[in-house]
Structure 1
């Protein structure tokens, strides 16, 4: 898990001592490896700026590489294996007045780093349908979502176990001690976010979680129950329900969830009191999918999460979270898959969310709204087959936090190496 500081990170896996293991052991037979190149342009303009930072724009352009290797398992009742994650980010354009986009590290000089890189290893063991992992981890849980929304994905360092011994039931538990942020190479202690504000005055030595998901009704329904704890800051519980139901030519869906959080341990951020409910209903027919969502915050605090993640809340998006103290929000969304018109690979999403009833602590009700437009295309044939292009345009307005106009252009291509 030692961070690598040179641009030759992608070649470093070739030096790993995997070749010493028997090729016929199953370790190599079950191996897979991919290399994804991700070119990312991010621009976020601020107006009616609220807060201590008066930076009016965050705009950067970078090239990222994500190398993922997953081994098979050695034979025997207990199988052993090794996974590896290699990350490299390279600056293409930035300046001191446009930093902090989340794509690149920002140095003490106020300038973005020319490059940053990391090599993380995960040692794993499997017995029956139970798997233990130690090292570099990327959990995706209701209490700690995998937020791959910038140039490179974040990761955590610790131990995790996942078990699916009973049909339909998956149980997971873990202890995470440090994190590598999406735009950093090293290991850092974890911070909390309350609503949209990072709480940099308090650091935690661990995040612990335990939970399970049970699928039933021919896997059309699932029930989730989870607990997560950011040591000495907050403890959070979650219960969720998902269901999909064919009705004629339609496929109806429901995603419901409830969170409850309190302060924990030494209470480094003081008292925390948050309950959050969300519902996201969907209706799909052909290439059309319609969504309607409602989300509500209760208690004296905003929604807590580990910095700098988004969460599975129904109305949370990567720009505004709609999760501040006492906030109520509605969402309407429409997706279209152009494969229904004979243009496979082309998809669009348009979404509008409006929130109000925010307790700003400033003597007035907070209100905000956001409009998102996403267009994505994956080339289906020819020499560029598999090349993905995604465009994102956002307009977000608030009377208690900075307004945002945002544009993203993301190009990605993945090579299968093994």
Structure 2
């Protein structure tokens, strides 16, 4: 928590523009949307490794997400309120197919028929600095917003965001609990090492501080962040992003470096991980071709907060390619069919190959994954705005469970305010 408390006064001390902030009004500046999400998830484990011998996770559910965001009251110091209501409804499940991350699971092994939640966050704005407390959804390199299932997760705590300096976004916060993506209540924060959830220990909170600076006519950004999962691990991040037109092409580079060590009471023991990733992309017309390299160094897998994904270049929602000493390569092709006169249709094909994994079992771990994604949003007519996404993934490994996965997601939003 000390890193956050020291950083807040520093942010407020940054010189600001001479004009005081204005506000559009609490209600006049408000917005509200209702999003429906119909989600089918199926994951087959063709070669089970580990203590859990469930061979399939397959469920179908309907989600509703109501988002309300107010404006700020008039004056130099503006006050506002954000709220989010969530409802998940089971459409199909079975005790032998649970744990998809769509629905809660009761003690008898059956999925809940429904679950719900209301999260509220108060916010205060002074000029270009905003303080928020309550239900939060931060999206940071060291704590990404992982909205990859039926309903979005959140955290409970306090955060500050400041943009007083042109091009610089500074953020800091303390989070004391989490609402997981398939739960209605809150619980203490836990960790993941590589691909293994560490459910045996809990942390009293997650602290973070850092910022992103954009320059070069918004073509270049640099990032530096520090995160601390109290008594488990602390992690630093340095990042660089750059894009530049080269004739008819646009080239983009994304570099990142993480360094993690154990923290405080070391509830998970010693942690030693350094992670480097790089992604180079080239775009022309509707085509985007990307290649990526990722390396894990040190004696431990990559640590993160449960059950988040990370911005690692080769991580997917299926395999993370982030176990001890792992090296991995990626090639990816994306196509936007707007270039052919079919706006709203996008496809993606990705292949990732990982090796050099220290399995701790006397042999080298290897794995690979192939992903195909097809997404479409209806552009006109009575169904305008209706979107669907189909994902097929095949992942194979010699040290963890093989996976064959299908996801089919339909979404639609109504603007209420």
Question: For the superposition of Structure 1 and Structure 2, which TM-score range results when normalised by the shorter chain?
Answer: over 0.9
State how far apart, in whole Å, the 2-side matches of 1:220 and 1:107 are: 49
Which deviations, in whole Å up to 9, do the C-alpha atoms of 1:123-145 show, x marking residues without a partner? 00000000000000000000000
TM-score, normalising length from structure 2?
A: 0.94
SS at match of 1:97: helix
Q: Does the alignment pair 1:302 with 2:301?
A: yes
Residue 338 of structure 2 corresponds to 339
State how far apart, in whole Å, the 2-side matches of 1:243 and 1:353 are: 23
SS at match of 2:48: coil
Question: Can you give the 5+ residue segments of structure 2 that lack an aligned partner in the other structure?
Answer: 1-22
The 1:380–1:25 alpha-carbon spacing in structure 2 relative to 1, beyond 3 Å, is closer
State how far apart, in whole Å, the 1-side matches of 2:349 and 2:24 are: 49
Residue 160 of structure 2 corresponds to 161
Residue 220 of structure 1 corresponds to 219
Which deviations, in whole Å up to 9, do the C-alpha atoms of 1:209-266 show, x marking residues without a partner? 0000000000100000000000000000000000000111100000000000000000
State how far apart, in whole Å, the 1-side matches of 2:172 and 2:47 are: 43
Which deviations, in whole Å up to 9, do the C-alpha atoms of 1:289-344 show, x marking residues without a partner? 00000000000000000000000000000000000000000000000000000111
Which deviations, in whole Å up to 9, do the C-alpha atoms of 1:362-403 show, x marking residues without a partner? 000000000000000000111100000100000000000000
SS at match of 2:289: strand
Residue 244 of structure 1 corresponds to 243
Q: CA deviation at 1:47?
A: 1.5
State how far apart, in whole Å, the 2-side matches of 1:380 and 1:343 are: 9
Q: Does the alignment pair 1:323 with 2:322?
A: yes
Residue 194 of structure 1 corresponds to 193
Residue 11 of structure 1 corresponds to none
Residue 180 of structure 1 corresponds to 179
Residue 17 of structure 2 corresponds to none
Query: C-alpha root-mean-square deviation of aligned residues, in Å?
Result: 0.8
Question: Can you give the 5+ residue segments of structure 1 that lack an aligned partner in the other structure?
Answer: 1-23
Q: Does the alignment pair 1:88 with 2:74?
A: no
State how far apart, in whole Å, the 2-side matches of 1:265 and 1:32 are: 42
State how far apart, in whole Å, the 1-side matches of 2:86 and 2:253 are: 36
Q: Does the alignment pair 1:40 with 2:39?
A: yes
State how far apart, in whole Å, the 2-side matches of 1:281 and 1:100 are: 35
Which deviations, in whole Å up to 9, do the C-alpha atoms of 1:104-127 show, x marking residues without a partner? 000001000000100010000000
Residue 364 of structure 1 corresponds to 363
State how far apart, in whole Å, the 2-side matches of 1:175 and 1:228 are: 10
Q: Does the alignment pair 1:128 with 2:127?
A: yes
State how far apart, in whole Å, the 1-side matches of 2:85 and 2:219 are: 36
Q: Does the alignment pair 1:416 with 2:412?
A: no
State how far apart, in whole Å, the 2-side matches of 1:143 and 1:136 are: 18
Residue 384 of structure 2 corresponds to 385
State how far apart, in whole Å, the 2-side matches of 1:107 and 1:202 are: 21
State how far apart, in whole Å, the 1-side matches of 2:30 and 2:52 are: 47
Residue 29 of structure 1 corresponds to 28
Residue 149 of structure 1 corresponds to 148
SS at match of 1:47: coil
Q: CA deviation at 1:27?
A: 0.2
State how far apart, in whole Å, the 2-side matches of 1:385 and 1:253 are: 32
State how far apart, in whole Å, the 2-side matches of 1:315 and 1:172 are: 26
Residue 102 of structure 2 corresponds to 103
State how far apart, in whole Å, the 2-side matches of 1:47 and 1:392 are: 18
SS at match of 1:339: helix
State how far apart, in whole Å, the 2-side matches of 1:197 and 1:163 are: 35
State how far apart, in whole Å, the 2-side matches of 1:233 and 1:417 are: 43
Residue 14 of structure 1 corresponds to none
Q: CA deviation at 1:283?
A: 0.2
Q: CA deviation at 1:48?
A: 1.4
State how far apart, in whole Å, the 1-side matches of 2:85 and 2:247 are: 46
SS at match of 2:45: strand
Residue 63 of structure 2 corresponds to 64
Instruction: Give aligned pairs, total.
Output: 395
State how far apart, in whole Å, the 1-side matches of 2:70 and 2:61 are: 30
Residue 53 of structure 1 corresponds to 52
